[in-house]
Amino acid sequence: MTILYVDADACPVKNEAIRVGERHNVTITFVSNSWMRLPEGDLIERVVVPEGPDEADNWIADRAKAGDVVVTADVPLAARCVNAGAMVIGPTGKPFREDAMGMRLAMRDLNTHLRETGEIRESGPSFTKADRSRFLNQLETIMRAAKRISGG
């Protein structure tokens, strides 16, 4: 059975994930370091992990498997989930694919280094309506594929 995991702490598409998850009748598990207000529903599950670096990431990575879908902007978490066979999508609608993970990890590390040395100051482009729309379309496609893999 497919589970939709959401790395929820800074996720801008929680409502969209709920909409798609409910349409596909899958459990939607929001994982965060603190309690957050979410709509109530039979398919919505909240998991609050202890404070600490990567606690939410570790919780998701330890459970995600083939046939599951993970929503995250965290590249190392995405890599771990892709390696486990899960399908992973970022909040902007860009899927994480196994054949591109090496490059995405390298770019993340390079940008982190450039920010630390002061070479770049911005953290990236702001989230747009187009990103939200692309996310909805891609999540719908990925959810269908994941349900075929999990058999339901």
Q: How many Å is the Cα radius of gyration of the chain? A: 15
pLDDT tops 60 at residue 101: no
Q: CA 76, CA 90: separation in Å to the nearest integer?
A: 12
Amino acid 97: pLDDT: 80
| 118-146 confidence digits (pLDDT tens) | 777 776 678 899 999 999 999 999 999 99
pTM: 0.85
**Residue 99 CA: distances (Å) to CA of 5, 65, 69, 96:** 22, 18, 17, 9
Q: CA 29, CA 60: separation in Å to the nearest integer?
A: 9
Is residue 114 within a helix (H) or strand (E), and if so which, with residue range? helix 101-116
> Mean of the per-residue pLDDT values for the chain?
89
The pLDDT confidence band at residue 110, using thresholds 50, 70 and 90, is: low
Residue 120 structural domain: 3-150
- What would the mean pLDDT of 53-62 be, rounded to a whole number? 94
Helix (H, G, I), strand (E, B) or coil at 33: coil
Give the residue from 79, 127, 126, 87 showing the smallest Cα distance to 103: 79
Selected residue with higher pLDDT from 102 and 38: 38
Please state the domain count of the chain: 1
**CATH of residue 108:** 3.40.50
pLDDT tops 90 at residue 49: yes
Helix H segments across 27-89? 55-63, 75-83
